Amino acid sequence: MSTNQFRVGLEYLFIGQNAIFPVRLGFKTNPQLDPEVTWNQTTTGWSADSAAVSGAAFTGGFGMKMGKLWFDLAYEMGMTTTTYAENYLDNSVYTEETKEVSHNILASCIFHF
């Protein structure tokens, strides 16, 4: 089993007299695999538990470049959906879906020699 990730982004450069100011926007999908499948013995037989995780994120940021010094600030809002499924030998199925939203702020300062 494999996953595919899709990413797209835009960047616009505002060019000033002493500095360059990049502004960025982006989107990415973030599918993941849960490699663990657990087999459990129940009163109705054996069951397989597994989970599928999918997600997406929106990103934005801006920066400033002055000579050899770069500053960057970025924000990422990620959304993850986890679907948990339990299949029993008597063909009954239990599913549960959970959703999470995460917020990340990233900052960097780089000096080029």
Separation between Cα atoms, residue 77 and residue 28, nearest integer Å: 11
Give the per-residue pLDDT at 83: 74
Q: What is this structure's pTM?
A: 0.70
All structural domains of the chain with their residue ranges: 7-111
Separation between Cα atoms, residue 15 and residue 18, nearest integer Å: 8
Give the per-residue pLDDT at 49: 56
The CB density around residue 107, as the number of other CB atoms within 10 Å, is 10
Give the per-residue pLDDT at 45: 60
- Strand stretches in the chain, DSSP E: 7-15, 20-29, 32-33, 38-42, 45-66, 69-88, 93-111
Spell out the per-residue pLDDT of the chain, length 113, in tens: 556 789 999 999 999 999 999 999 999 988 776 655 555 666 656 555 555 667 899 999 999 999 999 999 999 999 988 777 776 767 777 777 888 899 999 999 999 98
Q: Which of 104, 87, 85 is nearest to 95 (CA)?
A: 85
Give the per-residue pLDDT at 66: 93
